[in-house]
Amino acid sequence: MTYSIIAHDAESGAYGVAVQSHWFNVGRTAAWVRFRVGSVVTQALTDPSYGWRGLEEMASGNPPRRALDGLLAGDPDAQRRQVALLDASGRVAVHTGDRCIRHAAHIVGEGWAVLGNLLAGEEVLPAMARVFEDAHGTLPERMVAALEAAQAQGGDLRGTQSAAIRVVPGGPELASGIEAGVDLSVPDHPDPVGELRRLVAVDRSYRELNRGQAAAASGEEALALHHLSLAGRLRHGAELDFWRSIALMGLGRESESRDLMASVLAEAPRFREVLERLSEVDPVAARLAGPEPSSTDQP
């Protein structure tokens, strides 16, 4: 009664799970991740304990296949379960029980699997697999693209209600010291996958802002401008643009900074007071809050 993808990105080391269902708050029970261990998705006749028990088994050193077989061996309802385990190195194990409601199946690739039950048709999972393998962008963006492909083929026969994505960050993100994983849930929405897509884009825009600020603080101007530019293209309202303006002022892009702040204050006038308070403790904000130098001012 759900479709999902569990995946590992070999380049970055990130991994996680994304899921959609015609059920309230599917992410709460279906999607599980643990840093340096792996991820689990449990659906059909969902047993949330498969999530934490599967992670415990992998944490103790069992590979996904052995861990999953052990869980199924003691379960009288094993043939009604659909479960996938993926470890932090990208090894995958999947089970689709014989008594899952049709259409129920799974496809396993290199470091990923797509699975679903009570699907609208047999074309849902192949569409997910094709799109995920061909998609570009971050792992969360590719996983959401797979969910969108499923929905385009009918997805869950009952329709849509909730969706979620949980991703452990990869090595480059962890090395930066400022990155957290992705943990987004849409518990009840007429277009949960579309809303999840929006939230993933918002999440990335704030990540790019954080990366730009960190690069600016370490004196890497070109890298800072690159990330701030990406944050601008992924724009998400006054809050993001406010801090982008501050960062640009710190990089000496005064004209660009002031133009951006003017648009922020036009959109959200209360940020004028935010700027004034920030200027009391931040010299960069104080420059931005002050008058713009005239062309006749001497250096």
CATH number at residue 127: 3.60.20.10
Per the domain annotation, does 68 fall within a domain? yes
Which is more confidently placed, 177 or 261?
Answer: 261
Which is more confidently placed, 297 or 17?
Answer: 17
pLDDT at 235: 66
pLDDT at 295: 57
C-alpha 30 chain-centroid distance: 16
Number of domains the chain is built from:
2
Residues 8 and 36 both lie in one domain = yes
pLDDT in tens, 106-141: 999 999 999 999 999 999 999 999 999 999 999 999
The pair of structure tokens assigned to 148 is: 């969108």
Could you give the CA distance from residue 132 to residue 246 in angstroms, rounded to a whole number? 37
Per the domain annotation, does 123 fall within a domain? yes
pLDDT in tens, 19-64: 999 999 999 999 999 999 999 999 999 999 999 999 999 999 999 9
Residues 91 and 150 both lie in one domain = yes
Per the domain annotation, does 39 fall within a domain? yes
Per the domain annotation, does 196 fall within a domain? no
Per the domain annotation, does 23 fall within a domain? yes
Q: How confident is the model at residue 163 (pLDDT cuts 50, 70, 90)?
A: very high
Model confidence at 299: pLDDT above 60: no
Q: Is 24 left (phi over 0), alpha (psi -120 to 50) or beta?
A: beta
Residues 42 and 178 both lie in one domain = yes
Give the mean model confidence (pLDDT) for residues 2-16.
Answer: 95
Indicate the length of the chain as a whole number: 299
Model confidence at 1: pLDDT above 90: no
For residue 185, give its domain range: 2-189
Residues 174 and 256 both lie in one domain = no
Residues 183 and 219 both lie in one domain = no
Per the domain annotation, does 296 fall within a domain? no
What 3-state DSSP class applies to 272? helix
pLDDT at 83: 98
Residues 236 and 163 both lie in one domain = no
Residues 126 and 263 both lie in one domain = no
Amino acid at the residue 186: V
What 3-state DSSP class applies to 277? helix
Residues 39 and 163 both lie in one domain = yes
pLDDT at 216: 93
Residues 68 and 179 both lie in one domain = yes
pLDDT in tens, 213-267: 999 999 999 999 999 998 988 767 899 999 999 999 999 999 999 999 999 999 9
pLDDT in tens, 277-290: 999 999 999 999 99
The DSSP output letter for 78 is: G
Could you give the CA distance from residue 175 to residue 169 in angstroms, rounded to a whole number? 10
Could you give the CA distance from residue 51 to residue 265 in angstroms, rounded to a whole number? 46
Give the mean model confidence (pLDDT) for residues 76-102.
Answer: 97
Domain boundary among 137, 154, 189: 189
